Structures are given as C-alpha cells and as structure tokens.
Chain A
Amino acid sequence: DAKTTQPNSMESNEEEPVHLPCNHSTISGTDYIHWYRQLPSQGPEYVIHGLTSNVNNRMASLAIAEDRKSSTLILHRATLRDAAVYYCILRDEASGGSYIPTFGRGTSLIVHP
C-alpha cells in the first residue's frame, strides 16, 4: 500500500465540488488507477477507474495527470451520503503472481451540511 499516497482526511461543504488527490509516483505504464470508497458500516464500493485518459461516470470523474504520477477523484457536488473513506488503489502483485487490491488508509471525507 505504499504505492499510493493520500491525505488522511478532507472536508467539504454539501453541494460543493470535492477534489481528492492521490500520488502514485512509481506507477507502471500498464497500471490502472482504481478508486473505491467505504461508507460507514458498509463494504468497499467501486467508484471509478482509468488508465490514461480522464474518465467520467455517474458517481464521479477521474482526472489523471499527463505523467500518470498522480490522479484526482472529483465529486462534482458532494452530498452528505458521500461521506466515506476513499481509497486510491493500484494493482499489487501477490506472491502467486495474481493481482489483488490492497487497501491503504485512504482519505476520510467529511461533508458538512
């Protein structure tokens, strides 16, 4: 999990945009950047993933730096239901050669009404 670096926590006001940064300076050329989130008392939930180009879906947008050493998850209008821990994950090769998602501490997003 040392492959990505995220701030421990961020705060936002409801209905404002939120930009959650992630640094991954050792990313390889074929690594996808994945984002998951974990709402309180729930399992992790897929948010978005991308390789080089910026990506959009109904939940969020992912902006990937041109050198791919960092990325930003963008929530366009934060709601109280977006309060969660957000994880930026690269693939982690396990001892048997498979890739498994390894969760770090993530960024705890606090949304104020």
Chain B
Amino acid sequence: EPEVTQTPSHQVTQMGQEVILRCVPISNHLYFYWYRQILGQKVEFLVSFYNNEISEKSEIFDDQFSVERPDGSNFTLKIRSTKLEDSAMYFCASSEREWGENEKLFFGSGTQLSVL
C-alpha cells in the first residue's frame, strides 16, 4: 500500500535555529497536512495545503512556521527560529480529495523534533 514518507525520523536542533521537516505524500494526493503531538498530549492540527496555497491554519501556525511544496513530490514544514516548546512529534498527512466526507487521511510515521 502506498505510504507517506517523512524524513528525518529524529531531528535535534539548538534553540533559535531553523529546521526543515520533509514529507513525501502519496503520489496522486492533492491535499496535504501537518500535525504535531507534544509528548503525552493530543494530536494537534497545524496547517492544510492545497493547490500550492494554505487552505487552513491553526493558531499554533504562526509567522515562525511556513510550508512549501518545492517540487512535485515533497512537502516541507519550516520552523524559522525554533523554541523549546516546538519540541514535538510532527506528522505529515495527505489525502486524494478534501477530507470531510468519504475520504481517508494517510499519515506518515512522524519526525521527532527535539529543541535543546
């Protein structure tokens, strides 16, 4: 079965540094998402992306965050100046059509970001 691939699986960075988390969604999917999960807490929505632009973003997704689809296969999440509280597991997801009704979301296995 096709899957969403995320790299790296674990990223360690110093506070204030920029990080880029990478995702390869399933090839025929058109909708892309980033979620995060702080240890012991809920899976939280960050942003959704369609047709090369952001569809929705949460309050968490402030000016420090950006997303990009630089080519036909990758979908990236950039954090410009990391903070300690950005430490979390970040999940990428994709779907063929807009989620909401008769549609499935496929998640990657995540990137564990540790900010020191």
Contacts and interface: CB of A to CB of B under 8 A. Distances in A.
B101 A32 contact: yes
Determine chain A's interface SS by DSSP, over half rule: loop
Contacts of B55: 96, 98
A91 B56 contact: no
Interface string B2-30: 00100000000000000000000000000
Contacts of B45: 100-103
Interface residues of B, number: 24
Interface string A20-44: 0000000000101000101000111
B98 interface: yes
Nearest to B3: A43
Contacts of A102: 45
A105 interface: yes
A44 B101 contact: no
B42 A32 contact: no
Contacts of A68: none
Interface residues of A, number: 25
Contacts, number: 63
B75 interface: no
B60 interface: no
B106 interface: yes
Given A44-B91, A101-B99, A94 B109 contact: no
Interface of B: 4, 33, 35, 42-45, 48, 55-56, 91, 93, 98-102, 104-110
Interface of A: 1, 30, 32, 36, 38, 42-46, 49, 51, 87, 91, 94-96, 98-105
